[in-house]
Structure 1
């Protein structure tokens, strides 16, 4: 099992909490942290935008990245939401085993 951090942004804390709750309830992620009040700057439709957003950090397995990405996109209000995966190279073995145990059973 390779553990993965998934990173996403949402336009509001409430939307981020709704997404986080859903993906944890559905066991696509073992945990999701919501960090509200980040300032994001990005190019969109030809100009630089600045918005206050909420960040969602999700802990999952590499074999669930596609399903989790699809589910976040389904739940999200943005036309093109940021949803990216970053492999975890190491860490607390007990915590990494917990991620494996608390996500969807492998098929």
Structure 2
């Protein structure tokens, strides 16, 4: 098992993604967040086909904080049913894993 865990979600705006990412860093639930380029999401919601611009985000944390992170994202998220997914990490560079641990321990 890796010493790093990844959690993925999408936000409706870059501002919302930045607000949540900053809060999670302040709360020491993540070491960092990668806000990826705008994506177009297609899905059916309440019987209507939706096409929405969203901002995908990858959060990096320790495996021991993954569940708490996912719960906190759900609390802070402005979507009714956000997609919050834990992604498998088979291995992580030892220096990076150490940095993640140090950031969460501050």
Give the TM-score, by structure 2 length.
Answer: 0.88
Unaligned runs of 5+ in 1: none
In the other structure, the counterpart of 2:87 is: 86
SS in 1 for 2:36: strand
- 8 Å contact kept, 1:3–1:87: no
Once residues 87 and 4 of structure 1 are traced to their aligned partners in structure 2, the CA distance between those partners, rounded to angstroms, is: 7
Once residues 77 and 30 of structure 2 are traced to their aligned partners in structure 1, the CA distance between those partners, rounded to angstroms, is: 16
How many positions carry a matched residue from both structures? 105
| 1:12 maps onto 2:23 in alignment | no
Give the superposed CA RMSD. 1.7
Q: Which has the higher strand share?
A: 1
- 8 Å contact kept, 1:3–1:88: yes
**Structure 1 position 104, deviation (Å):** 4.5
Once residues 92 and 47 of structure 2 are traced to their aligned partners in structure 1, the CA distance between those partners, rounded to angstroms, is: 40
In the other structure, the counterpart of 2:99 is: 98
Once residues 46 and 104 of structure 1 are traced to their aligned partners in structure 2, the CA distance between those partners, rounded to angstroms, is: 45
Unaligned runs of 5+ in 2: none
